[in-house]
Structure 1
Amino acid sequence: MRAVNTDLRSPFFQGIIEQDAAGNVMAINPVAENLLRLNQQALTQHTMQSVWGGKLYRSDQKQITKEQHPVFIALHSHMPSSCIAYLYNSEHFQSILITSIPILDPETLMPIKVISTLLDVVALQKTDNVAQIQLHQLEAIERISRINLQAGTFKETLHSSLEALLDIFDCDRAALIYPCDPSAGELTIPMECTRPEWPGAFDLDLNVPIDNDTAVVLQACLDNAGPVRYDALSFHSVPRQIKEEFSVKSQLMLALHPKVDKPWGLVIHHCDKPHVFTNEELWLFDEIGHRLAESLSSLITLRNMKESEERFRTLVENAPEAIFVLDVKSNRIIDANENAALLFGRPRDELIGSNYLTLSPGVQPDGQSSSELACRFVNDTVAGETPVYEWVYQNSRGNHIVCETRLVKLPAAGKELIRGSITDISGRKQTEAQQQKFSMALEQTADAIMITNADGIIEYTNKSFEAITGYSLAEVVGKTPRILKSTGPTQNQPAFYEKLWRTIKSGEVFNDVLINKRKDGSIYYEEKTITPLKSAAGEITHFISTGRDISERMRTQEYLQFLAHHDVLTQLPNRVLFIDRLEHAIINANRNNSMIAVLFADLDRFKFINDTLGHDTGDLVLKMVSGRFISSLRSGDTVSRQGGDEFAILLENIKSTEQITLICEKLLKSVSQSMLINEQELFVSVSIGISVFPGDSLNPQVLIKHADIAMYRAKESGRNNFQYFSPEMSSRAAERLTMETSLRKALERGEFSLYYQPQISLHGNNLIGFEALLRWQHPKKGLISPLQFIPILEETGLIVPVGEWVLESACHQLKQWHEIDHELHLSVNISNRQFNDRNLEEKFHSIIRCSGVNPACLELELTESLLMMNPVKTEQILNSFCDIGIGLSIDDFGTGYSSLSYLRRFPLDTLKIDRSFVRDITTDVNDAALISAIIAMAKSLQLTVIAEGVETHDQLEFLRGLDCEMAQGFLFHKPLPAFDAGRLIK
């Protein structure tokens, strides 16, 4: 606001009055004294109601009240106010335009004074031309003042003001420039308004570099107290670039000086035709500019305050700590962020307004009163301190929370406010307690513990480390773990150590098996886990290594794994490993929505080579064909030998059948090339059958079967070709749906029954028990194979109620048989789906208890894959069965999970050798060696072995020769109904 000026140079005189925030007159110029017929001394004697010595009236002759007076409005709204009022004197009513503008304190934004301008409207109207001009000026000023009085946003107020300028000066473009500073380097256009035919010249809020011409214009504005004109009568001309680019014919520009921030620039353009600015227009532009500057002062201050408040609120809301604001006088929380509500377990609106002292238990852990101690910290904060202390709070559920609290006094007029920041350190306190236990556990654990710094220098080893490696702590401190490095194949690969260091330096845990060397030079396998340790700042400071000597286990496991999953002759995966990979491929294909193909390949007339050239030559042919298969396939594909001259190939990530066709053509061409064996040239060919997932089947065994069928079709088609499997999909789907529908009613209709296959002791040739097998007697189709309906039971979940029925029926049957032979055992299978039932233990215990059967005579058969689905949960369930005497058996041993660690972990009693290994033990050296190893391993682990699928006397004698304890199979008896099985017992 400009100061009161008695040297008026405007086209007409205006009265000016300056008053303080209470309305007391501080200064008045002669024009105002003349208009009001009073001097300053007389004015100071009047109240706000009768300010300036007379009553003011509206145009309807109603008296203007105190609250309607522009001075009152300006002081209370903090914004300019104006009106046309009528003052009564002895002669007539006199009309006066009153405009009151508050002057705000930059820090508190409270009014410190108000300045009012008075114009005699009637006097202005006594002349024609001058009066019209002056009335236009009055209306323009009142219009701008009215816009500034409206409670609009920053942008809205600027836009409305510029729109008014277009109308007031009949110009084509009006804009605000920020900053009006030639040294700023860049400027922006916060707001611009134009006539429709003259579109905007500037992009709003875009940074525009200040060139030399623009800098000259800006400097001219700063150097002039009033507007700078660019027209035919001025000393300045519009810069050529601006004139041409924005079609400027005339320009009027003024520097605005708000009380905060840098100067702004106000500019209007005439673009249609040149315009010569009159003195009245220059004066009016100057007056409007000053009013806009005053408005900008308030708007910028309010905007800055709002942005500051929003930034503060954002910081508080997004702070990781729980933050609250406390009113010291009332001890009540007047604000809190969402983290505070979460910490105390209360809705935010409920937390706000609550008493701060109620958020703590009665006493703190040291026995001191929470309220007394809290008041002491609050008083210290009010006194200017910033206390940081550990405190126990209590949430809405009554749980205690250990926290770190920081109090800070907030600036506030007339109030004492404190901001509190709370960090939950319960986890940290627990960690400190656990560290004590951890240090004790390190010394007492059976694992070898080694701690190194971030560079790998050994700082600590425990006693188990010395027992395993032979090195004492004193011998290894300051050295690196390379002291244990052996010449094993894994450790000689640089990529191994690169992966190790890359893993642990990235903060991840490293797990692997290492081949290390003891102090005495002996080699041992170590199951190693290396875990990075981080500081509070997140930096890795140490590595902790735990190791376990697994040498014996690894030797056995490596041998068994190779025999169980590979063909000895070709080194290819065998059928067990192939099925495992096929199952995983199906899972991945489902996840990735891709295709896989199974190829079943059989060498044409290979028997002729064996019969004429001998088995040694045949073996060499198989090896060479294996190599040609591998070289013709992609790196991710799998080739396996199924037995004899049969191979199965798995193709993953297939995009189309055309891709499969190209691969098969490549295989046929590769195999058919001549081969030189023992200086004799041979030619072989291959027939290939193809099945595709998911089109041909979702089941791995069925996919192999379909590929096998297609292979025989290829042979029937002349050999040395390939054929795709082509089943009738609609009929097969309908048949499966019908079977599923029938299965859903089979249990309640009593269509299920149990058959019992005898289990024979090979030592005494006597019956020792049975395996209970589920059968389904369909009312129309007769006896259905379990291979057909059990997978459907698994998929639909019906296996759970059916499995309970099986166990219940088997237990009641065993109870009856115990009246004849109380030592008779019975094995019952548990499916994977059934094992995952959350109520499994409760149901099984209830069934066994209700049947009255001796649990020691009952054995549950589980698959290897079932055991490893959730080892922790599985171990808990198996231990509960073991506790009541139930025996546990691994069914189809050797066909499932590739690790044998579960044999030591779980409380197992029996291993059942899968029939697929027993079938060829007298003709296949691989199967014979595998069964021999399984039996030897089982005996070393004190496990009983039973072989299933024994069908010939040669198989029986072979198993007896290996000291296998039990067997079952068609050689002894096929599965029997309960009645026939009971006759065997008698």
Structure 2
Amino acid sequence: MLGCFAKDILPKELYEAFHRCLTKGIEHEVFNIQLSNPRNKIEYVRAQIKLRVKEQEVVGVIFTLSDITSITHTKKLLSNESERLRVMLNSIGDAVIATDNNAIINYMNPIAERLTGWHGEEAKGRHIEEVMKLVDATSNKTLVNPISVALKEQRIVAMALNSQLTGLDGRVYRVEDSAAPIRDVEGNIIGGIIVFHDVSESIAMAVKMSHLANHDLLTDLPNRVLLHDRVTHACKVASSMNKNVALMLIDIDHFKYLNDTLGHHQGDLIIKDVAKRLESLIDLNTTLARIGGDEFVILLPDVKSASVVDAIASDIINTMNEPFRIDSQEYTLSVSVGVSVNPADSTQAEEMMTHADAAMYRAKEQGRNRFCYYSDDLEYQFKQRQSVEKLLRNAIEQDKIEVFYQPKLELATRKIMGVEALVRLRDNDNKLISPLDFIPLAEETGLIHALGKSVLKQSCKAAKEWADKGHKIKVAVNIAAKQFTDGNFCNLVADTIEQAGLASELLELEVTESALMHDFDEIKVMLNKLADLGLTIAIDDFGTGYSSLSYLKLFPVDVLKIDQSFVRDMLNDTQSMDIVRTITSLAHTLNLQIVAEGIEEKQHLNSLIDLGCEFGQGYYFHKPMPKEEFDKLLG
């Protein structure tokens, strides 16, 4: 280069800087230049120009060049990486705070700013504990920041459970995540970083879901799941502290009928009002739960004496008897209450529930609107009830329901004019179970509809067979009160008659007086529809219920059956004789057929004939018998 002009040697960018310094008299300058045409892979140069001045004249120049290409590229890479990291930290959904090794903040991303309420620049230089104030959400006790622990113990630290962050603006957040120390390439700790996020909504949702899982949607009372936990806990505490626990199962009497009549919306309103009344009777230590449609449970975890339980049970009965007002209408309810006491009659939660249920059913059997305690005898009855229900259900499903027939005779001639169909059920030993044990159970469980259908079908089929053989035997089938609540009952009867091919005049339906009292207009419509089919309607057990001349006049009744209790006592009790005489006279006046039940002695027969009773049935003539035996009787 010696002897050459700088213009010819230097790259254009360097020469222009060199020339500027000379012309402007800049004695010293350092600058970086990017070469447009790199030489020997030199792209970036650091130039230092220093003018040699003597007597205010430039006599020379010292021009020093350094290759900074690799340094510049490295800085660019670091800058790009830093920018990518900044964008990433500012974009993620979690809050990020970085500190030095003394837990002094040097970085916060926007999410951290929002949760803490601090602006990043204001937070820089402050200790993490000042900016990020954590407390236990339950106890409100101050918590140590995870960064402080991470720096001290030189490890990753998870945030304490149940952590709550209070921001500078007073907002409160539930937060969780972790902190970790930051190390340099040599493994030395140079700072810390904490990553956390807001879990307030998640925790609120979890709390809500837990509440929904353990509480009844309609009343917001504890449900069966939560009740079971509390009963179990109460039993354990009672066992260790020698206390008594009482469980009261409350069932609304006839609520299904009320619910079906008024509609489910009105029924729900009544359930809510019942819950409120029950809540007014208990204290804070007592649990009130709703475990079913119309079933509530009260748990008394510490019973001092039986009189306390008696008082509460009596209050429940009395409170429920007060009319409920829904949409300007008044409704009167009653409840049946079953009581189980631990450890007197049970030791476990499941056993208490079972025993209270059994006691409640005893209360219903005794007339409802009362409470009963559990006993060993009641447990036996409860198990028997379960066994009979299982037998009944299986018999219906397997078509093993039997029908016996008791002949009805014309008393004067002893000629068989008809039969009464009587349902029968056998146990596993092939012994007959009393109808008193399974018919009320069928009504309670709703099996009465399937049971009645089976009896009706068999009876119509039998009557058809007898008719085909020349015996015009009318078959009388008992209809339970609950069958009248089935809007499809008339169609069922019509279809059964048609499928059997039976002349409708050979079918008689026997209904009790109590069955006619539920809904006068509805029952009247149904009986008229049945009468239109051509069959006859009989009032069973007449005189034992709500005997009323009005329904004899307005309902299409054809037959009155005198209850066997009057017939049995008529020889020794003048009042019974007068009742039989009156019913017979009434039937003749209204042109109704009269049938006497329970004729067991010849004197019964003679007296009934003298009173003008034309037809009867009883053990004096024949007991109920299987169809095969009755077939032989017909010959």
Instruction: Tell me if both proteins adopt one fold, taking TM over 0.5 as the criterion.
Output: no
Instruction: Provide TM-score, normalisation by structure 2.
Output: 0.43
Q: Could you say which structure has the greater relative contact order, defined with CA pairs below 8 angstroms and 6 or more residues apart?
A: 2
Instruction: Provide TM-score, normalisation by structure 1.
Output: 0.28
